[in-house]
Amino acid sequence: MASILLLLVLLMPALQITGAQSVGVCYGQNGNNLPSPTEVVDLYKSNGIGRMRIYEPNDPTYQALKGSNIELIVTILNDKLQGLTDAAAAKDWVQKNVQAFPDVKFKYIAVGNEVHPGDPQTQYLLPAIQNIHDAIVAANLQGQIKVSTAIDTTLVDSAYPPSAGKYSDAAKSFITPVINFLASNGAPLLVNVYPYFSYTENPTQIDIAYALFTSEGITTPDGVKYQNLFDALLDAQYSALEKANAPNVEIVVSESGWPSEGGDAATTQNAQTFYQNLINHVKGTTGTPKRPGKAIETYLFAMFDENTKGGDEVERHFGLFSPNKQPKYQLTFG
């Protein structure tokens, strides 16, 4: 008994660290008033945020991350995919952006972000993924770093009930080979999951409380109870993976957030409610109805409001912090 108690005591710090790191935050840099990368990394550390996603390689960010133990997703943007269909270019990319920074804790490389059917870059996605993976293997880093891609939820149609989720006919031709690659290499699929946009696109059909984790929940036609929209969206993705003969591929939620202004239902109160409830949910062991009993690796979007980001006004107001590093909400990350 004494030896068992000693083992538990020794494991407790590791268990606590794992819990604290189950929530990451995306660090977008589309702003002309943002803190320096060193200040940003300090802000991650002081708030107990153990994971980061960035949207392209960035040497100052890498330098700031050295020795921090913050786990990192690096994204390769869609306009870079064609160049990486050349194996030598992919090897050079890995050497310059991964191997050159051995003190940075790389976890995933997201090759492409929200590639869609019909995009000119779609044809280059799988070859780029394969070449980056091969370069990671050549560097003997495959045990540390997994290569994947980040998709959005629109590749899945028939998403209600979640058990009916399947990839659209237009998406199947490019996403199925990618999923087969992930399954063969033990890599997760990264998915950007936004209850906010699902709600604002269907406000008469979706109760905002269901999107904010404050609903009593619904029971789907096939008898499954869902307490929140996030779980329903995530399980529709798992259903699509099952129908693609990849039931063992895990999903990492590579973005999820709620804006504080600039669009329908975009208020500080709604955003705080969403973020804190999401953090509590994904850090716990409830899981989803299709994947119960475990935490959900999730990256909140985003660290800061980004005043030069393109798109609709709402896109510039997803920050957890203002550019002056003051928190917009009182959130508990750890």
- Alpha carbon 329 to chain centroid, angstroms: 21
What the block records as the tokens of 103 is 């003190």
Residue with tokens 């099952």: 242
Report pLDDT for 274. 99
Cα–Cα distance between 312 and 328 in angstroms, integer? 21
Contact between 320 and 327 under an 8 Å Cβ cutoff? The reply is yes
Report pLDDT for 22. 67
Residue with tokens 């590093």: 325
Q: Which fold has domain 20-316?
A: TIM Barrel (3.20.20)
With CA atoms as reference, report the closest residue to 176 among 161, 156, 201, 147: 156
What the block records as the tokens of 107 is 């976890």
Report pLDDT for 11. 39
Report pLDDT for 13. 36
Domain ranges in the chain are: 20-316
Contact between 164 and 113 under an 8 Å Cβ cutoff? The reply is no
The verdict on whether omega for the bond into residue 161 sits within 30 degrees of 0, i.e. cis, is: yes
Which amino acid type is present at position 233? L
Contact between 221 and 161 under an 8 Å Cβ cutoff? The reply is yes
- Going by the DSSP 8-state scheme, the letter that residue 34 receives in this structure is P
Q: Cβ contacts of residue 42 below 8 Å, gap of 6+?
A: none
User: Beta strand pairing status for 218-219 and 156-157?
Assistant: unpaired
String of DSSP letters for 247-308: TT--EEEEEE---SSSSTT--HHHHHHHHHHHHHHHHSS-B-SSSBSS---EEES-SB--TT
Total length of the chain: 334
Contact between 190 and 266 under an 8 Å Cβ cutoff? The reply is no
Q: One digit per residue, pLDDT tens: the chain, 334 residues?
A: 444 433 433 333 333 333 344 699 999 999 999 999 999 999 999 999 999 999 999 999 999 999 999 999 999 999 999 999 999 999 999 999 999 999 999 999 999 999 999 999 999 999 999 999 999 999 999 999 999 999 999 999 989 999 999 999 999 999 999 999 999 999 999 999 999 999 999 999 999 999 999 999 999 999 999 999 999 999 999 999 999 999 999 999 999 999 999 999 999 999 999 999 999 999 999 999 999 999 999 999 999 999 999 999 999 999 999 999 999 999 999 7
The model's pTM:
0.93
- Residues with a catalytic annotation lie at 114, 255
